[in-house]
Amino acid sequence: MDWEIGIALFAMFILIVFSMIKISNLSKASSDIMSKINTMTAPAETLTAVTTALQQNVGGLQESISFMNQSITSISTQAAKIETMGKKYEETEALTRRIHNIMIGSYEKGRSGENYLRNMMGELMKIGLVSQNMPIGSKVVEYCIEFSDGKFLAIDSKIVATKEVEALFDEETSDDDRAKHRK
């Protein structure tokens, strides 16, 4: 029986040592868990800071998007204006071609051009933009537009100055020659 008591005491001793080792390991595990919890808390704080910064950036992006939308609207408006001006230019160009075809050419075209010019200038004379039989230099022109700066634009259905007008708009004409043709 002594030996049974000895074995029981020895087993008890081993159990106590084993329990103490387990408690020691549990203490270490508890320390490790606390360390990991602390380590996990730091990223959570970092995530909170990052989230706050992202929210501020989103606000800035919303302002930028709003500004871009305003810019796009402004550009669209300008593009519409340019398109309208282009259409008006095309209409003016077509009308100018029609006037040219009526006024330049044969005797019949010349007569119809005179009638057309008389009708058109009559309306402009009513509002005071055009004068009739205006002396320009040594000649008298049928109609004359007087600009606010005191300059005149002679309009006469009988004056033939096709070469001079073409020279004014020819890129190869020198500035001195253009000045001569303007007089």
CA-CA distances (angstroms) from residue 116 to 53, 64, 112, 145?
A: 74, 57, 6, 16
Nearest CA to 112 out of 101, 121, 97 is that of 101
Q: How far apart are CA 141 and CA 135, in angstroms?
A: 6
Q: Could you read off the pLDDT of 62-84 as tens digits, one per residue? A: 888 888 889 888 998 999 999 99
Sketch the domain layout of the chain as residue ranges. 104-183
Given this model, what pLDDT does residue 113 score? Answer: 67
Asked if residues 126 and 134 have their Cβ atoms less than 8 Å apart, the reply is: no
What backbone phi and psi angles, to 5 degrees, belong to 106?
Answer: -65, 175
**Type of residue found at 146:** E
- CA quadruple 170, 172, 177, 178: dihedral, nearest 10: 40
Tokens 């390991």 correspond to 25
pTM summary value: 0.33
Given this model, what pLDDT does residue 92 score? Answer: 83
Q: How far apart are CA 116 and CA 179, in angstroms?
A: 30
Given this model, what pLDDT does residue 174 score? Answer: 84
Residues of the chain short of pLDDT 50, as ranges, are none
Given this model, what pLDDT does residue 159 score? Answer: 56
Given this model, what pLDDT does residue 78 score? Answer: 92
**Type of residue found at 140:** V
